[in-house]
Amino acid sequence: MDSKSKLLWRCRRGMKELDVLFTNFVESSYDDLPDHEKQAFGKLLDIEDPVILGFMLYGDIPEDPEVASIVEKIHTSV
């Protein structure tokens, strides 16, 4: 598991929209996630920005069910 400061660093993306979305999610909700969802968030951060943008803004659905679940959680947290 990443420390929170490392995690916030990983949330810095090449796209301002993702930076804001992920940073807000980490600040408001990450600490309350169970470990398996924290791991899914880490998996999400390993994906390239254009693909993540599709998940977060255009309704694309990740093939990995764990990543799909965390994407849904992020959507409902904003």
- What is the rounded average pLDDT of the residues 50-73? 96
Number of domains the chain contains: 1
What's residue 69's pLDDT? 97
Mean of pLDDT values over 48-62: 95
CATH number of domain containing 32: 1.10.150.250
pLDDT at residue 4, as a whole number: 85
**% of the chain residues with pLDDT over 70:** 97
Containing structural domain, residue 45: 4-77
Give the pLDDT confidence score for residue 2 in this predicted structure. Answer: 60
22-25 contact pairs (CB < 8 A, 24+): 22/74, 24/77, 24/78, 25/74, 25/77, 25/78
pLDDT at site 77: 87
- 3-class secondary-structure state, position 13: coil
pLDDT, mean of residues 19-46: 95
What length does the chain have? Answer: 78
